[in-house]
C-alpha cells in the first residue's frame, strides 16, 4: 500500500525559484538580470503586447484586408424544435415563455427557431425567424408559426 508521505512528483516537476539580486556568486546579482539602467530596468516597466522597441510593430506593418460585420450584427438566440417539447400541448410560445423556460437570454434581440429534432406537440410559436425545416415540423405537428420581432414587444 502506498503511503501519502511516499508520493512524489516527477523529476523536474517542481523547480526551485531563482533568487535574484543575492550577490555576485548567484549569477544574478548586482543588476538582478535587468542590465544597466533604461526603461526595462525600472520597476513596473511592462511593455504593451506587440511592442518591438520602437520599430513599427508587425500588426501595423501588415496590410488590413477584408471586412467584419461584427459591429452591425444583431445578436440572435437559436432554439431547436426539439427543445419546444417542454411546453404544454396547445400553448403559446413567445419570447417571454422562452425566457421563462431558460431557453434564451433575456438580453436576446432576435430569436430564430431551428429544425433540429422532432416536435411532438401542437404549439403556436412566435419568433423573429424560422428555418424552413422548423416551420415544416411545427406545422406538421398542427401548430402555427408567426414571424415578428418578439424580443422588444
pTM for the model stands at 0.56
Q: What is the tens place of the pLDDT at every residue in 44-58?
A: 777 788 888 889 999
Q: Closest Cα partner for 114 from 144, 134, 95, 84?
A: 134
Residue with cell 477584408: 66
Backbone angle region of 78, left / alpha / beta, with phi > 0 → left and psi within -120 to 50 → alpha: beta
Sign of CA dihedral 96, 100, 102, 106: positive
* CA gap 133, 28 in Å, rounded: 68
Taking a C-beta distance cutoff of 8 angstroms, is the pair 143, 111 a contact? Answer: no
Tell me the helices (H) and strands (E) count for the chain, helix number first: 3, 6
Q: What is the tens place of the pLDDT at every residue in 104-122?
A: 998 888 999 999 999 999 9
Q: Which three cell numbers stand for residue 134?
A: 422548423
pLDDT number for residue 151:
59
DSSP 8-class letter at 43: T
Residue with cell 415540423: 137
Q: For the chain, which domains are there? A: 75-147 (3.100.10.10)
Amino acid at each position: 500500500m502506498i503511503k501519502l508521505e511516499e508520493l512524489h512528483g516527477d523529476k523536474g516537476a517542481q523547480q526551485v525559484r531563482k533568487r535574484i539580486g543575492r550577490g555576485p556568486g548567484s549569477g544574478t546579482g548586482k543588476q538582478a538580470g535587468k542590465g544597466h539602467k533604461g526603461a526595462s530596468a525600472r520597476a513596473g516597466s511592462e511593455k504593451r503586447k506587440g511592442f518591438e522597441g520602437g520599430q513599427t510593430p508587425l500588426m501595423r506593418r501588415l496590410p488590413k484586408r477584408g471586412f467584419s460585420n461584427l459591429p452591425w450584427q444583431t445578436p440572435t438566440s437559436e432554439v431547436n424544435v426539439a427543445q419546444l417539447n417542454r411546453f404544454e400541448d396547445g400553448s403559446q410560445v413567445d419570447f417571454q415563455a422562452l425566457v421563462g423556460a431558460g431557453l434564451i437570454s433575456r438580453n436576446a434581440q432576435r430569436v430564430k427557431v431551428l429544425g433540429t429534432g422532432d416536435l411532438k406537440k401542437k404549439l403556436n410559436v412566435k419568433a423573429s425567424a424560422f428555418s424552413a425545416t422548423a416551420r415544416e415540423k411545427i406545422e406538421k405537428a398542427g401548430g402555427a408559426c408567426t414571424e415578428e420581432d418578439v424580443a422588444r414587444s
